Structure 1
């Protein structure tokens, strides 16, 4: 059970111990750390491919076509050289990208003028740029027809919706994960979505990226993705689109001409629309500003002269983050300390002013609210939950079983998953500040067909990560938006987005930041180890730690800390694990 750890005695002394820590289709081998997401490279590798070799066999033509898919330049001109004119006209390379990790497992069978392909698939990227993890053991197959043109073999028939097939080697060199932004329906906060786009300048010698800028603008003008429906909104009115077919970049300013529907936005809506587009377009290399016009006239905002140049001008500047706290459990005692000082050790360690309750040892899997005012825990029987609030402590009437580790979001709401009294999977939430004996509100999630292993609210409290284990013991991790009703309270969950599957022996799961989760699990039969699960990206494996039991983070992959079964606390230093301390349990408030 995730975070159902035996209570251990906190030892104050810190120690430092090092833990020893097909032709033309390159691939990865072994377990490696995945690509660094959310850090666009502005000098991408331009992949050059030779045209078909005279006398090439059907297998060589098909393999060359697959490899050339890593170069989207000139509307995939390198790939189209392997196709007949009719096949090229019918082919939709952007329909989807099929990503496979090991080209050595690509099988090619030739039978006359057809070539059959079969390969294990890691993920698919749909036409909107959404990365969709595949199920364990998933394979994809296709049969491709060829004909001779001028005595040379060319591809004449591709399966419907074939798109492009890329090994991870080529995918990671020709695509990058970018972000789109939406707004919180309750306040001036931006929510981020993650998509993959081809990364290429307009020409080999060019420093302009109008193609990327246009793709990002089009994607930003589209409706909110289904998994965030109700949790986020877009400020662009329905029907808003690009009035011209390209976004020009002049003097580091992206010029976006919109259709007249944009004028329907209110003053607050225009402010939000500018915040969305400014955030998204600044990812384009060389773009520092944005111009939005309708029929040649600037899209103005009441009270702001000219084009906004920063989120602060728009009222969307992020508030200064409070110093992170860490709660250390020592038997029944909870103590809050400054996280940064605790990491530095010695005289840097200092307590945080907070009054936390005594938590009897029979209550496990403790959660603490970000403001340190509420605490929740589940009983060892996993059928009872207790809350400590400003109004005292208590437990509601039994409402479920197989309860997960609770989570308390930044609005003080306590979340927990499990099975209801009829054995159906359920997710519940308690209003912050309510009586500790108040019953929870259940949210229906009919898409959950297994056992809920974890329920976690994101740092921004607008997304929910849900881990579900099926009858075979395989765990998948989904992310869904928390849809709010008119009174601002949760009333439904969005459609699930599966970000990872193939996990087993899951011992812990936590948000690493708003863009990724961290797990302790086995991946498709590997040893149990720490694994990073980016939202919409390949998993990233961290070096293994013997007897690993729990994972927390002070922020992102760089702040990952793991706890082992004997109470050891390990942190990464220069790529290796070093023991920092020992502890009964460590709790990051709000996680």
Structure 2
């Protein structure tokens, strides 16, 4: 640091985000390029903003270019592919072979669905001469399948978009089957993202979600002219002409189709899409729907904005505080769970804020009660037989249909349990192929996705499963959580989590060798850059509303704290625990 000299003015003007301005242009292979240059040039071309990978195909033979389908998959490596020429091939027969290696972290399939996959990557690339033995140019005749690139390039090139579909019969919200379910996909953000997103929505939900959602678009619906880009007019209105599969669609169904488009495109453009007009294949109008009217057709949030945030105070009562920016003075809730007659360690409030469930201070018993009437405490809905208090019942969670979920962490009989409308006999939930004990459970507002903290070998990880209900009318329901996938594989230990919007969670955890951090994680397991939140000491529990405008609430070493948008953590009370939003 200099300790003498004159002061000089520094230009402190805001510079544009360099990452958002970077564009990569692929270069064709140079004449006489060596095999290693061809391989490296091809890999670099995969990171460009070339719409159809035309430049990358110049590194391939004609037959290889015909057989190569970059849209079938995208393999994401931690640091990009390394080129190993240890076994380069036989020079006499004009062939070369290289091996691409790296540490794979994820894969995006042909439906644009992201799935974490941590494994070693190794794939051979073969080259031959084009133009005859001993002459001509080197070209790749066996390229890697799909696209392979590093994680930093993936984050620069692709963006996450939530498609929206209607929840099936076992999901949706308290108002019926009008709830929308987010289906996250990744698209190339500089290659006509608007048209890409609409095409992907029309293709239907991803395989993972298909069993529990429905689309209002008739099967086989596509754009009338798939090669013509969609554009907004100067008033942010979008017109979409569909093929003949939708020509006979009625008005109610057409409005649902338009609502799916509006919510899917909501965050894709800076100012959003104000109106969608759907047209038949002959150009005549099917229907029109504005952004203002979209939520009367379908809601992508659980219900109205919650009135209160809740937690258990130092007297072990369930208390509430205003969810708005006004007073944060806690007060006991109405009903028996706010009296302190039954000391609580955790609680959950139904999404309509009319009922609550509480776990006794010793973790052994689960009670439910009204928040509107002063009933007496009834018998426990459920009891755990675990000997240790920290191995008994978890914090419960309400789904959008008013059903209650809770985990019994008894090592001798660990179970995930479901109580219809918070009453009746608990139903044990089947979780095939999940290895470990469920420590915590949070159900999304749509009722078809469930987040689980699973403990195995002393470590706790986050998983997302698909909730399905079976059994006929009048029969005992059969509840299952299927196809559970890791949702925060980059974290060695996850401490707490909560749904924080239609397609993301807020997670408290620690990466290998790192310190505790709070960040947002997409429900498909991907992490968007720049989603880390301000630090907080000793976070034990966290709560977020699925209405993303509401502040986070946490239980930390500083007590009950909350994080308003654009601010820092603020202490509400020094004593308290188990903060929750409705759900």
**1:199-218 equivalent positions in 2, closer than 5 A:** 199-201=189-191, 209=192, 212-218=193-199
* Alpha-carbon offset, residue 77 of structure 1: 1.7
1:583–1:380 distance in 2 versus 1, CA, 3 Å: closer
Q: Is 1:277 paired with 2:277?
A: no
Aligned with residue 290 of structure 1, among 260, 276, 295: 276
Specify the alignment match of 1:52 in structure 2.
Answer: 29
Specify the alignment match of 1:16 in structure 2.
Answer: none
1:192–1:361 distance in 2 versus 1, CA, 3 Å: same
1:47–1:487 distance in 2 versus 1, CA, 3 Å: farther
Q: Is the 8 A contact 1:531 1:542 kept in 2?
A: yes
SS in 2 for 1:249: coil
* Alpha-carbon offset, residue 352 of structure 1: 8.0
Specify the alignment match of 1:19 in structure 2.
Answer: none
- TM-score, normalization by structure 2: 0.77
Specify the alignment match of 1:446 in structure 2.
Answer: 432
* Alpha-carbon offset, residue 62 of structure 1: 2.0
Structure 1 segments unaligned to the other structure (5+ residues)? 1-39, 202-208, 301-305
Q: Which digits, 9 at most, give the CA deviation of each residue in 1:509-560, with x for residues without a partner?
A: 2112222112222224433332321223226444554433222336659934
Specify the alignment match of 1:32 in structure 2.
Answer: none
Aligned with residue 147 of structure 1, among 123, 128, 136: 128
Aligned with residue 514 of structure 1, among 502, 509, 530: 502
1:261–1:151 distance in 2 versus 1, CA, 3 Å: closer
Root mean square deviation, CA, Å:
3.8
Count of aligned pairs between the two proteins = 525
Specify the alignment match of 1:64 in structure 2.
Answer: 41
* Alpha-carbon offset, residue 338 of structure 1: 0.8
SS in 1 for 2:70: coil
Q: Is 1:188 paired with 2:178?
A: yes
Aligned with residue 84 of structure 2, among 108, 126, 136: 108
- TM-score, normalization by structure 1: 0.77
Larger RCO (alpha carbons 8 Å, 6+ apart)? 1
Specify the alignment match of 1:548 in structure 2.
Answer: 539
Specify the alignment match of 1:31 in structure 2.
Answer: none
SS in 2 for 1:307: strand
* Alpha-carbon offset, residue 272 of structure 1: 1.3
1:182–1:332 distance in 2 versus 1, CA, 3 Å: same
Q: Is 1:480 paired with 2:466?
A: yes
**1:99-138 equivalent positions in 2, closer than 5 A:** 99-103=76-80, 106=82, 108-112=84-88, 113-135=96-118, 138=119
Specify the alignment match of 1:205 in structure 2.
Answer: none
**1:375-414 equivalent positions in 2, closer than 5 A:** 375-378=356-359, 384-389=365-370, 392-396=377-381, 398=383, 402=391, 403-414=393-404
Specify the alignment match of 1:22 in structure 2.
Answer: none
Specify the alignment match of 1:374 in structure 2.
Answer: 355
Q: Is the 8 A contact 2:230 2:240 kept in 1?
A: no
1:214–1:589 distance in 2 versus 1, CA, 3 Å: closer
Structure 2 segments unaligned to the other structure (5+ residues)? 1-16, 89-95, 169-175
Q: Is the 8 A contact 1:512 1:518 kept in 2?
A: yes
* Alpha-carbon offset, residue 566 of structure 1: 6.4
* Alpha-carbon offset, residue 144 of structure 1: 0.7
Structure 1 CA distance for aligned equivalents of residues 363 and 519 of structure 2: 26
**1:253-268 equivalent positions in 2, closer than 5 A:** 254-263=238-247, 265-268=249-252
